[in-house]
Amino acid sequence: MQQATTDQHAGALPDPRERKTGGVVPVLAFAGITVAVMQTLLVPVIKDLPTLLHTAPANATWVMTATLLAGAVSTPIMGRLGDLFGKRRMLLASLAVMVVGSLVCGFTDDLVIMIVGRSLQGFAMGAIPLGIGIMRDELPRERLGSAMALMSSSIGVGGGLALPAAALIAQNADWHALFFGAAGLGALAILLTVLFVPESSSRAAGTFDWRGAIGLSAGLVSLLLPITKGSDWGWGSPTTLGLFGVAVTILLLWGVMELRSSAPLVDLRTTARREVLLTNLASIMLGVAFYAISLVLPQLLQLPASTGYGLGQSMLVAGLCVAPLGLTMMFTAPLYARISARRGPKVSLMLGMLIIAIGYGAGLGLMSAAWQTIVISVVVGAGIGLAYSSLPALIIGAVDPSETGAANGLNTLMRSIGTSVSSAVIGMVLAHTSVQAGGVAVPTLHGFRISFVIATGAVVVGLVLAAFLPSQRTALRAASLTGNEEKGRQPTLIAGSGGFRGRVLDADGAPVARANITLIDPRGRQAGLTTADEDGRYMLLPPAAGSYVLAGTATGYAPHASPAVYPGGGLPVDVDLVLPEHAPERRAAVPS
């Protein structure tokens, strides 16, 4: 035990997460894909739902709306519960609820019971931020970037792969088989999680904010209901306007309550920090862009050729043409890790948004053949893959580890709000530009192009927002000015900026103000120099990955040097320097 302690302090900062974690990434990604499959399960049969459920079209839309609302409510709540009580435990609970919901749907044709089952399915959306949180807690730093990218992209990957699979099942079997398949995937995800995913040791302090959870749930439902049902109720109807007013009132009161809470569900001070706020706003724009292609291309592909612009493809072929959207997202995860390691996640986010804009812009003229829709899917998928992969890195680099689940849950919620807005706005555009053909309203090519213009505009807005995110070196300078000081935590670096960070302390654990910290490379040359603040906090960005020595000096203390390793990959390395007053041989460094 003594030898281990000595090695930890004097060596190369071993990461406590360095253990057998080979199965963690594929299992968590599979769980994320399973959740995404659940979301897109009914897309191939959505137009047939009124007949299948023996109800009016307006009532049948609740089957989709219920899943959206349940997912929006559960995502930040499950993230916070995971921070408090264990992310693996909450992940298993989310998947179990999804399995129950799938079985409920699989055995019914009743609208009300189907809505209940779909709500339970939507509860599983919390699996995405929980998986990202587990990865942060368990994986070594060099694997974390690409792993989070894959997890963040899994929702698009699963959606893209589910479309052709669901279409094949719907064409050749009873539609209830879709739900039994989802239940089977969920059960497999639970089994794999039990076998291969360890429980996180990181826990947040405090208790669960039930009042905050109820308030946020009420506010989100009041906001998302008129967004998703406004086209049916009328955007100027008393119901729609009234619910918007109720949403604003509830969310404002909820915000005041959260600011006064000692253990809030969502730390609004952290959320208001520039890097977090801008990332979440950009996420809304990405959600708008992501859902637009899913709404437009399947309809364009399946419309009959007699319309003059429809491509006359079957449900299965339409799903296969859109499937590259998800596949490309999956293959861009390793590319993201390389870009982020070199330039940071801000650059990969902006690059992804630029590629999305190019894809949608090209799509305005590529709507006359099935192969052209595949090109659009590949280009837009590559952009969304890069952009989505950047989001969790930006978020976790700006929040305390104990807030990872809640913060990523809120970010996932922002994406969900974006998809809801996209569904409402583009649905309204297609409805208002449709024409009658054989007594049925049919979307027009003009409506499809307007939808792509809206998606392009959303991406441009997101690109502007991302441009104001702190750059790598700006993040280093600004981190000590963030709200973390209010909580007595160490300064936080933006993920992708990397570098060493920590505090300079004396032998009794008190901070050493204004200490000088010098970074020395393997050749003995100075690679960086900084001064700690009044609380002893410092941060230094190495020029490249490798072994270094951190040397601390301060008046009244003996100078001391400590070896440290920066693995690169865009994530910070925590090192607290302890300066002895009289005995330089005392312990040198305490990794946080």
Q: What is the mean pLDDT of residues 115-126?
A: 90
Contact 94, 426 (CB under 8 A): no
pLDDT score for 310? 86
| Rounded distance between C-alpha atoms, residue 342 and residue 337, angstroms | 9
- Please tell me which residue, 40 or 25, carries the higher pLDDT value: 25
Least confident interval from 37-41, 339-343, 353-357, 529-533: 339-343
pLDDT score for 234? 85
- pLDDT tier at 21, thresholds 50, 70, 90: low
- pLDDT tier at 201, thresholds 50, 70, 90: low
- Please tell me which residue, 352 or 411, carries the higher pLDDT value: 352
Burial 464-503 (b: 16+ CB within 10 A, else e): ebbeebbbbeebbebbbebbbeeeebbbbbbbbbbbbbbb
Angstrom distances, CA of residue 225 to CA of 98, 241, 246:
22, 11, 11
- pLDDT tier at 409, thresholds 50, 70, 90: confident
| Rounded distance between C-alpha atoms, residue 318 and residue 316, angstroms | 5
pLDDT score for 150? 75
Task: Compute the chain's Rg from CA coordinates.
Answer: 25
pLDDT, tens digit (0-9, with 9 covering 90-100), for 561-582:
888 888 765 567 888 888 887 4
The CATH fold of domain 2-208+263-475: Growth Hormone; Chain: A; (1.20.1250)
Contact 568, 339 (CB under 8 A): no
Please name the residues in contact with 165: beta carbons below 8 A apart, sequence gap of 6 or more: 37, 319
Map 289-334 to HEC letters: HHHHHHHHHHHHHHCCHHHCCCCCCCHHHHHHHHCHHHHHHHHHHH
pLDDT score for 354? 95
Domain residue ranges in the chain: 2-208+263-475, 209-262, 498-591
3-state secondary structure (DSSP) of residue 256: helix
Query: What phi, psi does 369 have (nearest 5°)?
Result: -155, 155
- For the chain, give the mean pLDDT: 80
Contact 521, 563 (CB under 8 A): no
pLDDT score for 539? 82
Least confident interval from 108-112, 159-163, 389-393: 159-163
3-state secondary structure (DSSP) of residue 192: helix
- Please tell me which residue, 217 or 427, carries the higher pLDDT value: 217
Query: Does the pLDDT value for residue 174 go beyond 50?
Result: yes
3-state secondary structure (DSSP) of residue 562: strand
3-state secondary structure (DSSP) of residue 504: strand
- pLDDT tier at 142, thresholds 50, 70, 90: low
pLDDT, tens digit (0-9, with 9 covering 90-100), for 73-93:
888 888 888 888 889 999 999
Angstrom distances, CA of residue 269 to CA of 247, 398, 517:
21, 12, 30
Question: pTM higher than 0.85, yes or no?
Answer: no
Least confident interval from 28-32, 279-283, 354-358, 514-518: 514-518
pLDDT, tens digit (0-9, with 9 covering 90-100), for 448-494:
999 999 999 999 999 999 999 876 544 433 333 333 343 444 333 33
Query: Does the pLDDT value for residue 5 go beyond 80?
Result: no
* CATH class of the domain whose range is 498-591: mainly beta
3-state secondary structure (DSSP) of residue 578: strand
Question: Percent of the chain beyond pLDDT 70?
Answer: 85
Question: Percent of the chain beyond pLDDT 90?
Answer: 23
Please name the residues in contact with 237: beta carbons below 8 A apart, sequence gap of 6 or more: none
468-472 long-range Cβ contacts below 8 angstroms, 24+ apart: 468/274, 468/278, 469/274, 469/275, 469/278, 469/279, 469/346, 469/349, 469/394, 469/494, 470/274, 470/275, 470/346, 470/494, 471/344, 471/346, 472/343, 472/344, 472/346, 472/496, 472/497, 472/498, 472/541
pLDDT, tens digit (0-9, with 9 covering 90-100), for 250-309:
999 999 998 888 778 877 887 888 888 899 999 999 988 888 888 888 888 888 888 888
pLDDT, tens digit (0-9, with 9 covering 90-100), for 500-513:
888 888 888 888 88
Amino acid at the residue 261: S
Residues in the chain: 592
| Rounded distance between C-alpha atoms, residue 418 and residue 452, angstroms | 15
